[in-house]
């Protein structure tokens, strides 16, 4: 059985257990994982129509090259941006590198975001997935439609070996980027999800928030909807997304428990781990106004053979409405997984170092 406890890590010190028998560690006892440099977020037009980047506050995904060695080349996503950014992962910090534009969509002259909600790495390539969901706070149907369609993409990014420096700069050839717009057709082909595609999140419309790649298939993890109270993951052959080969989607569901308001949790991030997955689970809907995230809203699960999932740990609150959106494993050794949590709602992700016991 996977032990259900979390322990915070201090700079340069051994990890000390802080979550035993359901007692959550306090945020003051957790170590930061700062990112040196600047992470770019939303691209917007100023009064002079000069385009400028906001500093990222909506980190939604990160993935790194395989291995435990540091530093490691990683790609990070902010869901308000039009691209992704290189981050070099070190033991106690990250280093922000080059920004990689992926789209240039605009509506009425205003930039549209990709709403990238997940990043994965497999077999020498990074994968970036849009939410494939409708915007939550947009009353103009034309703008809402344009913003939704801007998210209907999956990208595959391959870096030329040796082209990225230890500081995250691209000093060789630019990465090769492929784009697929075929995932919506596969999502609509899943009978249990067809009615939710292009629906509003508040009404349990379809929204992707995690991605992983295993055994030649892309796994899209859905924040919403759940299927009969179980979180949904849709698997699609990579050859069908990037190459047009025949293929069918497969729906996989997991019981990820319930949040503290009693609603089934959805997927907030997916990470390939060993022969299975780690799932960052969380509420399908944001907390009601005035209510912050609390202990037990979010949790980490590990998948088991078949369609089972075992609880690794419930997560504590990290202050206010900070929502864990990305899980980055750094090192797995001796049954302990050292990892980073990144958040939507905190400046440049507000990274926290944590450790889970996974045997």
Report d(CA 95, CA 132) in Å as an integer.
29
In sequence order, the 6+-apart residues with CB closer than 8 A to the CB of 358 are 2, 3, 302, 312, 332, 335, 336, 337
Give the per-residue pLDDT at 52. 83
**Does residue 314 belong to any structural domain of this protein?**
yes
Domains in the chain: how many in total?
1
Give the per-residue pLDDT at 1. 32
Give the per-residue pLDDT at 321. 78
pLDDT tens, residue order, the chain (359 aa): 333 333 333 322 223 333 333 333 322 236 899 999 999 999 876 544 556 889 999 999 999 999 878 899 999 999 999 999 999 999 899 999 999 999 999 999 899 999 999 999 999 999 999 999 998 877 789 999 999 999 999 999 999 999 999 999 999 899 999 999 999 999 999 999 999 999 999 899 999 999 999 999 999 999 999 999 999 999 999 999 999 999 999 999 999 999 999 999 999 999 999 899 999 999 999 888 888 899 999 999 999 988 899 999 999 888 777 899 999 998 888 888 889 999 998 999 999 999 888 87
**Does residue 1 belong to any structural domain of this protein?**
no
Give the per-residue pLDDT at 317. 86
Give the per-residue pLDDT at 2. 33
End-to-end C-alpha distance for the chain, whole angstroms: 8
The parent domain of residue 320 ranges over 6-357
Give the per-residue pLDDT at 16. 30
**Which CATH number goes with the domain that contains 159?**
2.120.10
Q: Are residues 168 and 98 in contact, defined by beta-carbon separation less than 8 angstroms?
A: yes
Which residue is it, tokens 């009601």?
288
**Does residue 170 belong to any structural domain of this protein?**
yes
In 3D space, the residue among 286, 263, 289, 130 whose CA is nearest the CA of residue 208 turns out to be 130
**Does residue 205 belong to any structural domain of this protein?**
yes
């Amino acid at each position: 059985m996977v032990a259900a406890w979390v322990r915070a890590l201090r700079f340069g010190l051994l990890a000390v257990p802080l979550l035993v028998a359901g007692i959550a560690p306090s945020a003051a006892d957790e170590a930061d994982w700062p990112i040196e440099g600047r992470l770019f977020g939303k691209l917007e037009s100023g009064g002079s129509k000069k385009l400028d980047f906001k500093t990222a506050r909506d980190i939604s995904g990160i993935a790194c090259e395989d291995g435990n060695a540091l530093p490691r080349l990683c790609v990070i996503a902010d869901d308000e941006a039009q691209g992704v950014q290189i981050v070099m992962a070190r033991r106690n910090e990250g280093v922000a590198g080059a920004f990689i534009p992926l789209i240039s969509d605009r509506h009425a002259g205003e930039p549209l975001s990709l709403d990238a909600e997940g990043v994965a790495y497999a077999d020498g390539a990074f994968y970036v997935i849009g939410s494939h969901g409708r915007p939550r706070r947009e009353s103009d149907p034309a703008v809402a439609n344009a913003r939704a369609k801007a998210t209907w993409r999956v990208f595959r990014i391959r870096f030329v070996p040796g082209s990225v420096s230890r500081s995250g700069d691209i000093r060789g050839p630019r990465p090769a980027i492929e784009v697929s717009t075929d995932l919506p057709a596969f999502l609509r082909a899943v009978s249990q999800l067809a009615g939710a595609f292009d629906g509003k999140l508040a009404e349990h419309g379809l929204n992707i928030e995690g991605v992983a790649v295993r055994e030649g298939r892309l796994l899209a993890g859905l924040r919403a909807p759940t299927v009969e109270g179980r979180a949904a993951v849709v698997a699609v052959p990579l050859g069908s997304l990037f190459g047009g080969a025949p293929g069918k989607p497969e729906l996989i569901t997991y019981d990820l428990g319930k949040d503290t308001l009693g609603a089934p949790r959805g997927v907030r991030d997916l990470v390939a781990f060993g022969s299975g997955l780690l799932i960052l689970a969380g509420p399908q809907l944001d907390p009601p106004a005035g209510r912050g995230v609390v202990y037990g809203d979010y949790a980490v699960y590990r998948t088991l053979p078949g369609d089972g999932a075992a609880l690794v740990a419930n997560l504590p609150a990290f202050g206010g409405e900070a929502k864990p959106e990305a899980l980055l494993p750094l090192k797995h050794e001796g049954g302990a997984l050292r990892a980073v949590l990144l958040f939507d709602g905190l400046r440049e992700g507000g990274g926290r170092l944590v450790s889970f016991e996974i045997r």
